[in-house]
Amino acid sequence: MKIDLHIHTNKSDGEYSPKEIIDEAKKLGVSAISITDHDTIDAYSEELFSYAKAKGIKIIPGVEISTKMEKAGIHVLGYNFDLKNKEFALELEKIRNSRHIYLYEVSRKLESLGYKVNVKKLDRIKSVTKAHIASDIVENEENKEKLLAEFGYIPKRGEFIETIMNENCIAYVKKNTVTPKEAGKAIRKAGGKVVLAHPVAYGFEDNLVEEDILKIIEELKPDGIEANYLYVKRNGELIDETQKWNLFAKKHKLFVTVGTDFHKKDEIHPEIGFANIDFKLEDNVIDEIINNINE
């Protein structure tokens, strides 16, 4: 039995359409999934649920909300909320609008540094992300000379973000966004469960320690954490801290979830259901995860 509760589609920064995700899940023997696009639930439709049901795939409604605390950007996962809740949809729309304001502001800064940015093309993406912007830059032939001068090679989008766009970098722009507490409140008002996404990532990307994670937990008051998550470092090294975060969850009376954070196939990151990696959960653990989200 395999499930994957953290998947992105082309409605945010993934490569596959929602139906293609269902097809991949079916092919890989994954029985339940959640599409958790950034700040949007546009992947969900009655047609998608019918398509998934015909394929024998259970869908749990999900979303990943971008939030900000003093030290780092924090991602909050919401599950099993009311997809028709208008107040929640409006809240997500506000967050997406802030993404487009950010796009124009960061593009001006990147262009002042000598990078070419296809702003009009990017502005057509409803839930535009740093990943979209970075991909546009590193894949643009017009930026080749500049990138070679800066890096000595053409970097992957993740390295470009970490080196040029993130906090304390030369093209950093503060994005107006919600706090974890505000995101959690919105999810709960829509009847959903609140989960702190990939706690393992914050140590490697933002130098947060366990004490910092505890402060996030105190503010967010989540129902669970994404303990079963494998982090991939910039050099491709796979980090498995699942045991640590499962113990953390137990200690702080939080349930756990599981997700790959799948965006595309690249022979480095986990594919849907960890199909390309020797990582699995026992059926009773999976049953417990689904029951906790559905309660």
Nearest C-alpha neighbor of 289 from the set 227, 236, 232, 234? 227
Locate CATH 3.20.20.140 in the chain.
3-92+176-294
| C-alpha–C-alpha distance, residues 249 and 247, integer Å | 5
Q: Does domain 3-92+176-294 sit in CATH 1.20.140.10?
A: no
- Cβ neighbors of 103 (< 8 A, separation 6 or more) are 119, 122, 123, 128, 133
Instruction: Please tell me the predicted confidence (pLDDT) of residue 214.
Output: 96
Q: Is the pLDDT of residue 174 over 90?
A: no
Per residue in 81-130, pLDDT (tens digit) is 999 999 999 999 999 899 899 999 999 999 999 999 999 999 998 889 89
Concatenated DSSP letters of 130-149: HHHHHHHHHT-GGGHHHHHH
pTM of the model: 0.87
Q: What is the DSSP letter of 262?
A: B
Could you read off the pLDDT of 75-86 as tens digits, one per residue?
A: 999 999 999 999
CA distance 146 to 153: 10
Residue 132: pLDDT band with limits 50, 70, 90: very high
